[in-house]
């Protein structure tokens, strides 16, 4: 390469070539001129973030954040509502089932109690079969030494409503105290009524007596 020394500067002078005449504008690692939008974009982004943070802080402090509805919040609310509806429907069904069960239990208890309700009628019929029959044959035996005492007590029974009364004297062994005997259980109520009319406290069943009801007077 040709060169010569510059007398004024004292440096060697070289012949200029293409490297000494670069094109206009930045070259290599130098950046070109940016547009206004690209230069202002970072400031706009920072400003937007600051506004969003300020709004969020205001919403949290004022309680307005609870009124903000997000799409996922609405979905969860609808799911909760459907779950509540399902729960209400199932509880209503269980209440209906419980009511039906209670009604059936009531009917069953009524059905089971019906036999017991028929018991008064059966006891009533039993009482009727054992009621006092004042037309039953009653024999009054005088076991005392008082003449005519059996006839006198016969009159007492007639006045009490007994219509088939016979006064008689004893023919066999006598008890030690006054007693009213009856043959069958159906005659027991009549025998007790005879004993009450004559003031006798002992009433005993004896199947071998000569009449359905026999009153033995010993005093």
Q: Does domain 138-217 have CATH number 3.30.70.2390?
A: yes
* Percent residues over pLDDT 70 in the chain: 54
Q: Whole-angstrom Cα distance, residue 154 to residue 211?
A: 15
DSSP helix/strand/coil, 68: coil
Percent residues over pLDDT 90 in the chain = 38
- Other C-beta atoms lying within 10 Å of the C-beta of residue 133: 17
Mean pLDDT of 191-199: 94
Domain positions in the chain are 138-217
Q: Is the dihedral of CA 117, 122, 125, 126 positive or negative?
A: negative
Enter the tokens of residue 209. Answer: 């007596």
DSSP string, 144-204: SSSTTHHHHHHHHHHHTT---EEEE---S---SS-EEEESSGGGHHHHHHHHHHHT---EE
Q: Check residue 91 and give its pLDDT.
A: 56
């Amino acid at each position: 390469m040709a060169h010569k020394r510059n007398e004024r500067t004292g440096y060697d002078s070289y012949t200029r070539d293409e490297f000494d005449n670069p094109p206009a504008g930045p070259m290599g690692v130098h950046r070109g001129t940016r547009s206004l939008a690209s230069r202002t974009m970072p400031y706009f982004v920072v400003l937007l973030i600051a506004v969003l943070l300020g709004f969020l802080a205001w919403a949290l402090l004022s309680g307005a954040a609870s009124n903000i509805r997000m799409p996922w919040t609405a979905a969860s609310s609808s799911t909760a509502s459907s779950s509540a509806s399902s729960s209400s429907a199932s509880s209503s069904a269980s209440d209906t089932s419980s009511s039906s069960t209670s009604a059936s239990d009531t009917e069953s208890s009524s059905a089971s109690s019906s036999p017991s309700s028929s018991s008064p009628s059966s006891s009533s019929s039993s009482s009727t079969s054992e009621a006092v029959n004042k037309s039953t044959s009653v024999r009054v035996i005088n076991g005392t030494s008082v003449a005519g005492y059996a006839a006198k007590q016969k009159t007492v029974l007639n006045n009490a409503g007994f219509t088939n009364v016979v006064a008689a004297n004893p023919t066999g062994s006598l008890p030690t105290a006054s007693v009213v005997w009856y043959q069958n259980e159906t005659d027991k109520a009549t025998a007790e009524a005879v004993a009450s009319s004559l003031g006798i406290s002992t009433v005993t069943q004896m199947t071998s007596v000569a009449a359905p009801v026999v009153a033995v007077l010993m005093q």
